[in-house]
Structure 1
Amino acid sequence: MAHRGRVSLAERVYAELRHDLATGTLQPTERLRAERLAQRYGVSRTPVREALARLQADGLVQRHADGLYLYRPRLDELDELFELRIVLESRGFQRIAVTGPAHPRGASAHDLLAVRAELARWREFRDDPPDPGPDLVAADERFHTELLRAAGNSALAEALTAVYERVRPVRTLDVPNAERVAAMTAEHIVIAEQVLAGDDERALRTLTAHINSSRAHVRVRAEQAIAFTKLGRAVRD
């Protein structure tokens, strides 16, 4: 019974820690010390260590010489992850071409209700812009995963979510200004409108340009974060 209780506690800490890392509650530059996390979650260090070991096995936490930190991709990995994003999201539009109105099912592959819901959400954001931060990152990820899921293959959306988990530590460091938030909002609206209009080729071009713009901004922030981390370690040494 005690063993089951300990495992259950470790599961809770794992879920809470994973959530806090994903939402930016814990900063990507913060060292993940078992003692401090145990105090944060009101547990002993044992379940915290078990949770950190699981997160490391998941690839979401990585060990450096001075301890554990949230995984942050190298610049070459970051480029590869954004390339994978384009491949996955483009596949959604390819599915539309194969299973469009001429398909025996007699309907577009897209769940247009889901696309309309995202369009309505981002039109609201246009009128009442959200504050930059983890909530905006989550809303942006939701737009892309819902658009891909609406294409009829939930496994593609799950794969995209896995990509986001690895890119998110850098994205949460990138705080966009009001101009960038407005541009992202406008691009989401255009993409959704083009999908609803059946103009999938233009929607794909708009989407690809949108992702490449995001990659450029995130890459700059990643370079700055790497330089900051190196400087911090040099000061500590």
Structure 2
Amino acid sequence: MNPGVDTDLYTTANATPEKRPSRRDQVHAEIRERIMKGEFTPTTRLVEERLAEETGHSRTPVREALIRLWANGLLEKRDGGYYPVLPDLAELRDLYELRVTIEIRGFTRVIENEAVRHDLRMLEELREHWRGLRMSPPEPDPSFVEADESFHRTLLASSGNFALVAALGSVNERIRPIRMYDFLTEDRVKDTIDEHLEIVELTLAGKLPEALMALRRHIGESFEVVEQRAARAYIQMTLHRGR
């Protein structure tokens, strides 16, 4: 595999479905779900003792969960504590526009320049991986965003411009916390897998204009879902704040 391409793609998606989540993962998932549903306001300090009591677990996994949620951008640190991050929908639109621009360039540089070609081996490996996911889809989980990001990084890297891949990575880091709202249902995971396969298969077939249209459609649908769900969480946060 060429330099700059993920070698440990889709670790979340590759997790064994039968494996029982650890206590720390359970606590992390519980608190994350409450945050994403808007159950806490941006002025609610998340206190270890209270969350441990509410979840029925010790403070240690709660503390670890808060650190992970902060690292993932769902929480912020201020006044010596953790607080939920209020989704910034205006910034989300701007960053999605930038994301689309970067990813589209991966195709247009190949379409416009006969000397530039996609790395077919890289794309074939990508296709095989996602065919496997179609056969055995992972459970809906916000962290599936990591698998989605890896697909798009590899697709872009196959066009040969790794500066574009780095730029996409920077954008992904900023929108990842809100993009987690995209993968909360089975239909969104299934649709994402199907759409990824459509894009990579069209690219391998040399149907680049069609692949580009499929990519635009795919990112646009993702944005609509993320915006709607993040907006609902925003409303819930503000409603709780007004109580």
Q: TM-score, normalised by structure 2?
A: 0.67
How far apart, CA to CA, are the structure 1 residues paired with 2:173 and 2:118?
A: 25
| 1:89 is the counterpart of 2:103 | yes
Amino acid at match of 1:91: R
How far apart, CA to CA, are the structure 1 residues paired with 2:173 and 2:119?
A: 25
Question: What does 1:15-164 correspond to in 2, within 5 Å?
Answer: 27=32, 29=35, 69=83, 73-100=87-114, 103=115, 108-164=116-172
Aligned-residue CA RMSD in angstroms? 3.4
Task: Give the secondary structure class of the aligned counterpart of 1:130.
Answer: coil
Verify the 8 A CA contact 2:99 2:171 in the aligned structure 1.
yes
Q: Deviations over 1:39-93 (max 9, x none)?
A: 759x9xxxx9xxx8xx8xxx99757799654655521211111111110000101
Shift of residue 32, structure 1, vs aligned partner:
7.4
CA 132–232 in structure 1, closer or farther in 2 if over 3 Å, else same: same
How far apart, CA to CA, are the structure 1 residues paired with 2:140 and 2:120?
A: 28
How far apart, CA to CA, are the structure 2 residues paired with 1:201 and 1:168?
A: 28
Amino acid at match of 1:83: E
Amino acid at match of 2:215: L
Task: Give the secondary structure class of the aligned counterpart of 2:124.
Answer: helix
Task: Give the secondary structure class of the aligned counterpart of 1:173.
Answer: helix
How far apart, CA to CA, are the structure 2 residues paired with 1:149 and 1:72?
A: 33
Verify the 8 A CA contact 1:82 1:215 in the aligned structure 2.
yes
Amino acid at match of 2:197: I
Tell me, which stretches of 5 or more residues in structure 2 are unaligned? 1-24, 50-58
How far apart, CA to CA, are the structure 1 residues paired with 2:161 and 2:30?
A: 31
Shift of residue 232, structure 1, vs aligned partner:
2.6
Name which structure has the greater RCO, CA cutoff 8 Å, separation 6+.
Answer: 2
Give % identity.
37
Shift of residue 98, structure 1, vs aligned partner:
3.7
Verify the 8 A CA contact 2:89 2:231 in the aligned structure 1.
yes
Verify the 8 A CA contact 1:73 1:167 in the aligned structure 2.
no
CA 180–35 in structure 1, closer or farther in 2 if over 3 Å, else same: closer
Verify the 8 A CA contact 1:93 1:200 in the aligned structure 2.
yes
Q: Deviations over 1:156-185 (max 9, x none)?
A: 112111211121112223443222222211
How far apart, CA to CA, are the structure 2 residues paired with 1:178 and 1:218?
A: 15
Shift of residue 27, structure 1, vs aligned partner:
3.1
Amino acid at match of 1:140: D
CA 40–33 in structure 1, closer or farther in 2 if over 3 Å, else same: farther
Shift of residue 153, structure 1, vs aligned partner:
1.3
Corresponding residue of 2:6: none
- Indicate the structure (1 or 2) with the bigger Cα radius of gyration: 1
The equivalent position to 1:209 in structure 2, one of 203, 213, 217, is 217
Corresponding residue of 1:8: none
User: How many pairs align?
Assistant: 196
How far apart, CA to CA, are the structure 1 residues paired with 2:112 and 2:236?
A: 47
Return the structure number with greater helix share.
1
Corresponding residue of 1:6: none
Question: What does 1:4-19 correspond to in 2, within 5 Å?
Answer: none
Amino acid at match of 1:27: R
How far apart, CA to CA, are the structure 2 residues paired with 1:63 and 1:139?
A: 27
